[in-house]
Structure 1
Amino acid sequence: MSQQHNGRSLGHQARKRFGQNFLQDTGIISRIVRAVRPSGHDRLVEIGPGMGAITEQLLAQNEGALDVIELDRDLIPGLRVKFFNYPDFKIHEADALKFDFNQLKIDERPLRIVGNLPYNISTPLIFHLLAQSCVADMHFMLQKEVVHRLAAHPGGGEWGRLSVMAQYFCQVECLFEVPPECFIPRPKVDSAIVRLTPYETPPYPADDLKMLDDTVRRSFAQRRKTLRNNLKGLVEADDLQRLEIDPQRRPETLSLEEFVRISNWRSQE
């Protein structure tokens, strides 16, 4: 356990604007790395290495090869010193939301991405990564509620736009939860580890991704209202019935396949 006091770790003050909460629990760190299972020659990328707690074990398991993306420039000198003896350890000072991850794919190996993500950027960052064609899988620490929404099933209150769009692109697995006391400073929320594995081919291909996103967004605009009301003027009740979807259903009862069915019908109009 490293030195800590009032949100400090190794002399670094965690910054609220970067959403920093440094993972300190060695048991949880080992469990995350076991979930990733580096093969020893993966193209591993860590987003937000912080003080290097997960970084150290990833390097040990992957023969010293790792790219990290870090926005806080004050953390970078410490990372350089800590891992100076790893020639294949590379630091990219950048905002992960704007970073082109395709530039890290230097051969046929796809990227395997790991990160303890700030809660305020987790959703847009996941979709930024899903838009890249070079990702094999992603293991992220996120707010527990976000993980539960990502992995939700139709019929429950957690099933929504995030669930549908994430599961269109990838298989989602909630692996395990992480309590606040594992971090410095302690966050006010529980966390969880999620594994996202992009599909080579989506199980239900959409003719137009923007149309699918628009269909899902409008369907969930008012969750308590029926599809007939939420899609009024876009898809009529008769059309939904032709698609074998009851217009009186609420959006949280629809499956991914049914949302794609409606979207593809709209694309053909």
Structure 2
Amino acid sequence: LAVGVRSVASAERVLDVPRTAFRPVPRVDSTVLRIRPHRPEPLTPGEEHDLRTLTRAAFQWRRKQLQKILRDHPDLALGRDGVERVEAATGRDLRARPETLGPDAFITLARAVARERGGGS
């Protein structure tokens, strides 16, 4: 969720709401967020689609290294050579796991994957 939101908007915590503010009282506290879209939008619709495809694949296989996800996940399937080209294009060590990447790294990686797959969606 954080990657998806932060790729198209900035989010800031406005206030915390205690569980006692609700009836019936839930088991969790809440937070109100202010979400502001980036202007101009940083991603084209095709890039946004590619980013969502990558993040969905990455977090379905979150315990795998990125190189395996990019090589073998059915929605990506870049093969060994494609993964090497993406790694060279991004300068990122793809032995990392998805949870170690921030939103900007996912955007960079998604753009490189789209180029490798033939220009994106």
* TM-score normalised to structure 2 length: 0.76
Q: Which amino acid aligns with 1:234?
A: L
Match of 2:52 in 1: 213
Cα deviation, 1:67-125, whole Å, max 9, x if unaligned, reads xxxxxxxxxxxxxxxxxxxxxxxxxxxxxxxxxxxxxxxxxxxxxxxxxxxxxxxxxxx
SS at match of 2:113: helix
1:189 Cα offset (Å): 1.6
SS at match of 1:257: helix
Match of 1:167 in 2: 6
Where in structure 2 are there 5+ consecutive unaligned residues? Answer: 72-76
User: Percent identity between the aligned chains?
Assistant: 27
Cα deviation, 1:231-251, whole Å, max 9, x if unaligned, reads 222364312321211110111
Query: Take 1:234 and 1:220, find their aligned partners in 2: how far apart are those partners?
Result: 17
Q: Which amino acid aligns with 2:63?
A: R
Aligned-residue CA RMSD in angstroms? 1.9
Match of 1:40 in 2: none
Structure showing greater radius of gyration is: 1
1:250 equivalent among 97, 107, 113:
97
SS at match of 2:10: strand
Match of 2:28 in 1: 189
Q: Which amino acid aligns with 2:29?
A: D
1:265 Cα offset (Å): 2.1
Matched residues, number? 107
Query: Take 1:250 and 1:239, find their aligned partners in 2: how far apart are those partners?
Result: 18
Query: Take 2:59 and 2:68, find their aligned partners in 1: how far apart are those partners?
Result: 11
Cα deviation, 1:198-248, whole Å, max 9, x if unaligned, reads 11123x435522111001111111222110122222364312321211110
Give runs of aligned pairs for residues 37-52 of structure 1, distance below 5 A: none
More helix as a share of residues = 2
SS at match of 1:176: strand
Cα deviation, 1:51-81, whole Å, max 9, x if unaligned, reads xxxxxxxxxxxxxxxxxxxxxxxxxxxxxxx
Query: Take 1:247 and 1:180, find their aligned partners in 2: how far apart are those partners?
Result: 41
Cα deviation, 1:108-149, whole Å, max 9, x if unaligned, reads xxxxxxxxxxxxxxxxxxxxxxxxxxxxxxxxxxxxxxxxxx
More strand as a share of residues = 1
Match of 1:31 in 2: none
Query: Take 1:247 and 1:258, find their aligned partners in 2: how far apart are those partners?
Result: 11
1:179 Cα offset (Å): 1.4
1:186 Cα offset (Å): 0.9
1:197 Cα offset (Å): 0.7
1:234 equivalent among 61, 78, 92:
78
* TM-score normalised to structure 1 length: 0.37
Q: Which amino acid aligns with 1:239?
A: R
Q: Which amino acid aligns with 1:180?
A: R
Match of 2:107 in 1: 260
Query: Take 1:230 and 1:250, find their aligned partners in 2: how far apart are those partners?
Result: 9
User: Larger RCO: Structure 1 or Structure 2 (Cα < 8 Å, ≥ 6 residues apart)?
Assistant: 2
Query: Take 2:99 and 2:8, find their aligned partners in 1: how far apart are those partners?
Result: 19
Query: Take 2:112 and 2:97, find their aligned partners in 1: how far apart are those partners?
Result: 19
Q: Which amino acid aligns with 1:188?
A: R
Give runs of aligned pairs for residues 64-75 of structure 1, distance below 5 A: none
